[in-house]
Amino acid sequence: MLALLDSHTVIWAQDSPVKLGGAAAIALQDAESVLLLSVGTIWEIGIKVAIGKLKLSLPYRPWIERAIHDLDLLVLPLSLDHAERQTTLPFHHRDPFDRLLAAQSLVENISLISCDAIFDAYGVARIWN
Q: Residue 40: which CATH number? A: 3.40.50.1010
Q: How many domains does the chain have?
A: 1
pTM score of the predicted model: 0.96
> 92 is in which domain, residue-wise?
2-127
Q: What is the mean pLDDT of residues 16-21?
A: 98
| Predicted local confidence at residue 96, as pLDDT | 95
Per-residue pLDDT band for 3 (boundaries 50, 70, 90) equals very high
pLDDT tens digits, one per residue of 59-90:
999 999 999 999 999 999 999 999 999 999 99
Per-residue pLDDT band for 47 (boundaries 50, 70, 90) equals very high
Q: What is the mean pLDDT of residues 25-47?
A: 98
Question: What percentage of the chain exceeds 70 in pLDDT?
Answer: 100
pLDDT value at 55 more than 90: yes
- Give the per-residue SS3 of the chain: CEEEECHHHHHHHHHCHHHCCHHHHHHHHCCCCEEEEEHHHHHHHHHHHHCCCCCCCCCHHHHHHHHHHHCCEEEECCCHHHHHHHHCCCCCCCCHHHHHHHHHHHHHCCEEECCCHHHHHHCCCEECC
